[in-house]
Amino acid sequence: MTNNTTRVSLACVLSATALLAGVAAPAATAAPAAPHADAGHPARQIPFTAAEVTARGDGGYEITWRAPGVRQVAVRANGRTVAVGGATGRVTVRGLPAADRQWFDLVPDRGQRLRLADRLIELDGAVNFRDAGGYRTKDGQWVRMGAVYRTDSLDKLTDADLAKLKRLGIAVDYDLRTASERSAAPDRLPQGVRYVVANVAGDDSPVFTMPTSAAEAEQMMIDGEKSMVSGEPAKAAYSAVFSGLVRDPDGVLYHCTAGKDRTGWASAALLTALGVPRETVTADYLASNTYRAEANAAALAALPAGQAAVYKPLLDVRASYLNSGFDEVEHAYGSFAGYEKKALGLDARELRRLKKDLLVG
């Protein structure tokens, strides 16, 4: 398939998802950086092999972790210990004061602490706004939370949402959408946030035609994912995002309309570049199905059953879509390292800087 063909497919995918996507599901919280461990002192490294914070519907938080070789882990919030456990733990914490994001420090009796929050950021006007961090890399470091965020469309943000984004420290917004999407639903942003257009699809799009079968819709998504890897507008757009991340990774936000396809590849590429395992990258990508479930169900419920079956693949994220992107990386660049260099414009020095700034442990 030529680049022109895949770009046509991407334009069709974006037209379809923009028509069908409603407001997406809210996202999870992130955390500030912890000090880097001294490589010569393994005991000072982060000992957690798994850890997660999940906000509960009753206002409480569930915190889970695994830290082999550790005898005790103290869970701290707001300057005090709120739970204690062993090498493996699952605790529920209730009664904490309301906060934009509730942070927890997991403090082991040996090694470096880990700071986490729920990945999802609750907003009134967006449903897929979440932290890109909080994941463990293959070599045992963790992607810092509270630095980089991903989301769906920002046009419906309320004044309260804008105030929350201001408090979160959002400094730059990379808009991955086409000109028509931006015109129809312009971003609402806190005052002072730098706005950058990074149009993944380009604007020389063909006349859009909706698919006529579920199989055709699924193939559109697969072809669209490939175009996000090797299409010329996509390479320019993602290169702009990554060069910005290298310059300053704090307070970065990138988004498209549904926060799942163009945004999904941005996060998949970032996490892969940072050394996060493919299985974890895929799980992060597929999480849009959870966060967008209510909005997607409402969109499909408004359609006749036959039409809904055809359009459902356009609203989903599926492993086959993401896998086609990684397959295109191998086909077009030979390896992910080749993609980093030739498509994203990252050299070895910039990649080291990105890891230094965004990884802890």
Q: Which two tokens stand for residue 318?
A: 């599926």
Q: CA-based angle 50:268:259, to the nearest 5?
A: 105
Q: Which two tokens stand for residue 121?
A: 């950021």
- Considering 256, 315, 343, 344, which one is annotated as catalytic? 256
Strands 73-77 and 103-108: antiparallel
Indicate if 256 belongs to the active site.
Answer: yes
Nearest CA to 173 out of 259, 288, 251, 271 is that of 251
**From edge to edge, which strands make up the β-sheet containing 50-55?**
50-55, 61-66, 88-93
Rounded distance, CA 84 to CA 107, Å?
9
Residues noted as catalytic: 256
